[in-house]
Chains A and B, each alone.
Chain A
Amino acid sequence: MSQNLERELSTLFEDHADRLKGQWVTEMRESGLLEQMSDVETEKRYTALYNTVVSTFRTGEFEDVGRYAKEITEEAVLRDMSVGRIIGGILKLRDIYARFIFSKYRDEKDKLYKFLDSYEPVANNILTIVTMAFVEERERVIQEQQRAMMGLSTPVLQIREEILVLPLIGTVDSERAEQILEKLLNGIVELEASVVIIDLTGVPVIDSLVANYMIKTVHAAKMLGADTIITGISPVNAQTLAGLGIDISMLITKNNLRAGLWHADQILGFKVIREKM
């Protein structure tokens, strides 16, 4: 039964398309949701939304909504548009249509209730689909960026025969710590390293988790025959570490990367000589 009602609704919206559109644009403008948007763009945005809504009411299928949601969210995330704008536009249209139905059938109570009953679930559904799509798209982009960042931020550099340097930059969480451990151990095997310097100058916070991973890394590296030197712990972090009560006596720590490299050279018997001044 609702299928018929919905079709009737779509016809109703189509018949009064111009008036409803005018109302939407006015209200959107009043609430500042169309800022920095040209008339052409506004037109385009409305047409897309309108077509989607009408076709959804006509067919009772939500496929078009899915497609619309995908397009608009991709565009929105790309152009850094707020959720408020997208959802605001849909909410406005929803209200306008609801008010329109109300004013149209004010005197026919039975019909009014039936229309509102069939209108509201559909309208809410459209809203949900678009919102979900928006959230998912955001999430996807965030994850992508996170992955890219993780890959970029943990290089294993060989700076001398048998010496690797691992400069860490940014916060370390357990996932990243795990990745660092794996990358370092594989680096040791591949490059046949005997000494590894982990430089923490760029790590803002060292908590017990990072400290424990560091200890784990040092032990695992030792099993592969490599000594680990930790450098660049800031005074604040040193205080934190001391306060955590984790036994770090087995860590070789040096003030900065330079001192660490010097120590590594000592272990392996390298000597750097400056030939020219």
Chain B
Amino acid sequence: MLDIPILKIEDFLVVTIQSELSDDEISALQEDILFRIKDVGAAGLIIDITALDIVDSFMGRTLSNIAATVELLGAKAVVVGIRPAVAVTLVELGIRVKWNVNTALNFDRGMKLLKRLIEAERRGGAS
């Protein structure tokens, strides 16, 4: 089974999905990510799917799940690098899949968005 590296940059975890994954691999990845966030106490997560031409409903749902679970662990998640065709597919699937994930165009933008989200929450928490 494919072992996908989860990198740590500053306070964040970064996962780059390089190729299409089987449903089992996606589930395993989800588990890995959640445990790492807990272990490291990460404030944010970026999942980069630039390399993916196709995203199926399972993948879409799992990404959505990961984002929701990460929130429960007190961190923020951003998915970056969604291609136009993938976006259209996800929207069309959206009839069934509730998609509520923060997204950004590329890694750079994703990093900025993540920092903004965390900042906003901290400020919100202080007041």
Contact = CB atoms under 8 A, between A and B. Distances in A.
Query: Is B a genuine binding partner of A?
Result: yes
Given A220-B91, A225-B113, A185 B105 contact: no
B83 A189 contact: yes
23 contacts: A185-B84, A185-B87, A188-B84, A189-B83, A189-B105, A192-B105, A194-B105, A216-B88, A216-B91, A219-B87, A219-B99, A220-B84, A220-B88, A221-B87, A223-B90, A223-B91, A223-B103, A224-B84, A224-B87, A225-B80, A225-B105, A225-B110, A225-B113
B104 interface: yes
Contact of B84 (A189, A192, A219, A225): A189
Given A189-B84, A224-B105, 11 more contacts: A181-B88, A182-B84, A188-B105, A189-B105, A192-B105, A222-B103, A223-B90, A223-B91, A223-B99, A224-B87, A225-B113
A264 interface: no
Nearest to A188: B105
Interface residues of B, number: 20
Contacts of A54: none
B54 to A, nearest CB: 15
Contacts of B87: 185, 219-221, 223-224
Contacts of B84: 182, 185-186, 188-189, 220, 224
A216 B90 CA distance: 10
B74 interface: no
A185 B80 CA distance: 15
Interface in A152-208: 181-182, 185-186, 188-189, 192, 194
B43 interface: no
